[in-house]
Amino acid sequence: MTKQKKVSIIGVPMDLGQLRRGVDMGPSAIRYAGITERLEALQYEVEDCGDIEISRNHAVHSEDTNLKNLKAVVEANTRLAKKVDEVIQSGSIPLVLGGDHSIAIGTLAGTTRHYKNLGVIWYDAHGDLNTAETSPSGNIHGMPLAVSIGVGHEELTGIYGDAPKVKPEHIVIIGARSLDEGEKVLIKEKGIKVYTMHEVDRLGMTKVIEEAIEYLKEKTDGVHLSLDLDGLDPNDAPGVGTPVNGGISYRESHLAMEMLEESGLITSAEFVEVNPILDEKNKTASVAVALMGSLFGDKLL
């Protein structure tokens, strides 16, 4: 993590990027699990900016597209982008709490206002590289990375500035184990670097993170971490909407966060897809807070 000592928490209680209710309570669950206290104990000045307002006026299926809740998702992400932009301008590190992963569209749109070559580490079981044409569901939470590289519906790619927001060669996906056919094509076409669970198992997390840092450090001027809790194995993080067995372990994830903190590359972060309705005694939100602690410098000794 960069050496700034002020963190601004932004909650995005959004569940419109998919159809399973409950993920809108993610920011509350993470706050309840003690994120502010954890960061303050690490000597950060913490500002909780509250939650982005999510309008449900347009939370309906559009007739001219299979994208679900398009207008409402665009509205929320535009508000989020503006807030993230303001936070970075103020000299603070934005820490965004989700909500479903469609919120990454707004986070990245606001962040890239301040970087010419933003890198992105996408810690996730999924590629989130679908489009209206390739998506089996029309759920926008499966599209934010595609949108951020300028591929997708123009109302999404054009949020808070011109597309693309991020260059494909500045992205590293870690933990992928569920990719749709259209996503595989886009990964090959755009040359996106992906460490599937095969590579994580084969190389080990240490090597994966070392390589990711090496890959990004020379060509980026900041790195955003977008961590979907379904990147972890469901045994460790059960409270997610799209669990996929065989994921990254709790300990491997801590190691990854610790190494990223030591690298000094991470300049912003978001933790998404915590769904307390599907959780066991707020376990997933607590895992999220523990991982944030490691990302922000919490050490055993």
Q: Residue 300: inside a domain, yes or no?
A: no
Q: Say which CATH number the domain at 221 has.
A: 3.40.800.10
| Tokens (6 digits) for 135 | 């998506």
In the prediction, which pLDDT does 66 show? 82
Please give the average per-residue pLDDT across 3-24, as a whole number.
90
Q: For 237-282, write each residue's pLDDT tens digit.
A: 999 999 999 999 999 999 999 999 999 999 999 999 999 999 999 9
Question: 207 lies in which domain range?
Answer: 6-295
Q: How many domains does the chain have?
A: 1
Q: How far apart are CA 120 and CA 98, in angstroms?
A: 17
61 pLDDT band, cuts 50/70/90, is: low
**Peptide bond connecting 243 to the previous residue in cis, omega within 30 degrees of 0:** no
In the prediction, which pLDDT does 59 show? 55
Q: Residue 67: inside a domain, yes or no?
A: yes
In the prediction, which pLDDT does 300 show? 78
What are the residues facing 213 on neighbouring strands?
A: none
Q: For 86-143, write each residue's pLDDT tens digit.
A: 999 999 999 999 999 999 999 999 999 999 999 999 999 999 999 989 998 889 999 9
- Do the annotations mark residue 128 as ligand-binding? yes
Q: For 205-225, write each residue's pLDDT tens digit.
A: 999 999 999 999 999 999 999
Tell me whether residue 228 is one of the annotated catalytic residues: yes
Tell me whether residue 126 is one of the annotated catalytic residues: yes
Tell me whether residue 124 is one of the annotated catalytic residues: yes
17 pLDDT band, cuts 50/70/90, is: confident
Q: Residue 135: inside a domain, yes or no?
A: yes
Catalytic residue among 24, 85, 100, 124: 124
Is 90 exceeded by the pLDDT of residue 232? yes
Tell me whether residue 254 is one of the annotated catalytic residues: no
**What b/e sequence results for 60-94 when a residue is b if at least 16 CB atoms lie within 10 Å of its CB, and e otherwise?**
eeeeeeebbbbbbbbbbbbbbbbbbbebbeeebbb
Q: Residue 147: inside a domain, yes or no?
A: yes
In the prediction, which pLDDT does 276 show? 97
Tell me whether residue 141 is one of the annotated catalytic residues: yes
> Do the beta carbons of residue 208 and residue 199 sit within 8 Å?
yes
Q: For 41-51, write each residue's pLDDT tens digit.
A: 999 999 999 99
- Do the annotations mark residue 126 as ligand-binding? yes
In the prediction, which pLDDT does 18 show? 82
Q: Residue 301: inside a domain, yes or no?
A: no
Please give the model's pTM, rounded to 2 decimal places.
Answer: 0.96
In the prediction, which pLDDT does 155 show? 96
Q: Residue 1: inside a domain, yes or no?
A: no
Catalytic residue among 126, 153, 170, 254: 126
In the prediction, which pLDDT does 63 show? 59
Q: Residue 284: inside a domain, yes or no?
A: yes
Q: Residue 16: inside a domain, yes or no?
A: yes
